[in-house]
Amino acid sequence: WCSERGPSDLLHACPCPGGDRMLGGHSSSSTDPCFSSQLKTTTTAAISKDFTEDRIWLNGREEDVGQPRLQACLREIRRLARKRRSTGDGDALPLSLGYKVHVASVNNFPTAAGLASSAAGYACLAYTLARVYGVEGDLSEVARRGSGSACRSLYGGFVEWQMGEQADGKDSIARQIAPEWHWPQLRVLILVVSRWARSRNGRTVAVRSPTLQFRAESIVPERMKEMTRCIQEQDFQAFAQLTMKDSNQFHATCLDTFPPISYLNDTSRRIIQLVHRFNAHHGQTKVAYTFDAGPNAVIFTLEDTVAEFVAAVRHSFPPAANGDKFLKGLQVAPVLLSDELKTSLATEPSPGGVQYIIATQVGPGPQVLDDPHHHLLGPDGLPQRDL
């Protein structure tokens, strides 16, 4: 796969973004075998003797290739490639480790908004670099140099990120609990609240939360077991309640750091209220919310509830201008809300509070893109104009 012919050997992948919390299944990409999936990262990597330096373009903009996390990933993949060749396995693909690499990566969903774009990005990067450098086997180590949770995004379906016990973190790995086709009725709605990156104070964590250790030691392990059971048995009620409780507790521990971190805003809280009232109206837990490191809500529900809940969101957050573009991704049939439900929701509408909804479902792991039209780098090794 080394290229004497210039950068014609390009590789691409699009993993499902992994959530920053309990289960990668919290976030998702389409199981649609075509690559118009709703939440994906696409990455192209190329090596060539003609390249004079490593370079990277993220979402069309060239970024500093010298940033530590990126360098750590490159070092690790090259180390594995070197190791592989020294053990002879690599002979099949004569590889010039000296070659510089060009990388281009794009997300088709909001970045740095608590939708695990970095997890998806680094998983995709590791997967793509591995193909370019002819590295096989577990890539967790490579991906985690970029983002801890990226190891989870290397798998499709429902993925658990095991805490592990070793000090060096070598046993902190991802494990697939169920494949993407395990729970076909499950749907995911991303309620995009804000196009902004996470709030400034989200970046500075001074003192760790006193309740965080308690949560990690006394609560999470039990919840992981229960969550795994919920998924394996497709127990939506329990899955939904545990998802909401864990999201709330995660944000509680953030608020307990000093200075406090608040990822949720008033719109996030209105969504939480909406979900609880929607469920109360139906007398059962039909919808669940979870929030990661941002105000955007990830909603879990089942196929038979999607249409009604989307209508409830439209009712509580009337689309500003883009009424037609309000819903992206999977098709959702428009339905009318019953007056009873409208009364139960009892919310004063917040126009534009939710910018748009991405309707999707649990998706697969990284996929190789063979069609050159999907390549982000052109024959010259530079980003394609039209991307």
Q: Which residues bind its own copies (CB under 8 A)?
A: 200-201, 207, 209-211, 214-215, 218-219, 241, 244-245, 248-249, 251-253, 255-260, 262, 264-266, 269, 272-273, 276
Q: How far is the CB of 102 from its own copies (least distance, A)?
A: 37
Q: Supply the minimum distance, in Å, between the C-beta of residue 191 and its own copies.
A: 17
For residues 137 and 259, which CB has a smaller minimum distance to its own copies in the complex? Answer: 259
Nearer to its own copies, 29 or 253 (CB): 253
CA 44 vs CA 73, 155, 261, 371: distances in Å? 15, 19, 35, 12
The beta strands (E) that lie in 25-172 are given as 41-48, 55-58, 61-63, 100-107, 158-161
First to last CA, the chain: 25
**For residue 126, which of 78, 187, 188, 180 has the smallest C-alpha distance?**
78
Which residues have C-beta within 8 Å of that of residue 269, sequence separation ≥ 6? Answer: none
Q: How far is the CB of 258 from its own copies (least distance, A)?
A: 5
Cβ closest to its own copies, residue 76 vs residue 246? 246
Q: Which is nearer to its own copies, 249 or 384 (CB)?
A: 249
CA distance 239 to 228: 9
Smallest gap from Cβ 218 to its own copies, in A, equals 8
CB-wise, 242 or 376, nearer to its own copies? Answer: 242
* Cα-based distances in Å from 133 to 55, 318, 385: 16, 49, 26
Which residue, 226 or 256, is less far from its own copies as judged by CB? 256
Report the residue number, 100 or 277, with the smaller CB distance to its own copies.
Answer: 277
- In angstroms, give the least distance from the CB of 254 to its own copies: 8
Containing 307, the helix (H) or strand (E) segment is helix 303-316
Q: How far is the CB of 302 from its own copies (least distance, A)?
A: 20
The least CB distance from residue 353 to its own copies, in Å, is 12
In the bound complex, what is the minimum distance in angstroms from residue 114's beta carbon to its own copies?
16
Closest residue by Cα to residue 173 from 146, 149, 145, 137: 149
Task: Give the span between the Cα atoms of 149 and 294, in whole angstroms.
Answer: 16
**Residue 1 vs 196, nearer CB to its own copies:** 196
Query: Is the dihedral angle over the CA atoms 142, 146, 150, 154 positive or is it negative?
Result: negative
Token pair listed for 2: 């080394």
User: Got the DSSP string for 355-372?
Assistant: -EEEEE----S------G
* Residue whose token pair is 């192209």: 44
